[in-house]
Amino acid sequence: MRGVAALDDWLAARPEVAGFVVWEPVLGSDEAAPPASERARHARNYWDATRSVSGAILKAGGDAACLSAGDAELPVVWDAVFDYAPGAATAGACGRTILRALPTLR
């Protein structure tokens, strides 16, 4: 939750940037998207119950630094940032955790 709060602050300072947050079940207790009070207010928030976005990112085989949660047994992309230039189909940069990656975003 600290990562999304930091991302929200980052986005608030850059109204020209569009932010998208994809929430997905990672822990056994993750049954639904977090309450509105915990979501990014300056981004569009999506709940991906089947982890389809994460699966597509893994299948595409992007930068390994952005794909691993540090647990090779958990096939899910989480706590990661992907930075796309306007109109770009692929990320120009990515990073994880969100807190570590924010200073590298454009």
Q: How far apart are CA 7 and CA 78, in angstroms?
A: 14
Domain ranges of the chain: 2-104
Q: Give whichever of 18-22, 65-69, 95-99 has the largest mean pLDDT.
A: 18-22
Cβ-contact 4, 21 below 8 angstroms: yes
Please report the pLDDT score of residue 104 as a whole number: 84
Indicate the residue type of 30. D
Least confident of 21-30, 38-47, 65-74: 65-74
> At 38, is the pLDDT very low, low, confident or very high (cuts 50, 70, 90)?
confident
The stretch 26-38 carries a mean pLDDT of 85
Check whether 6 has a pLDDT greater than 60.
yes
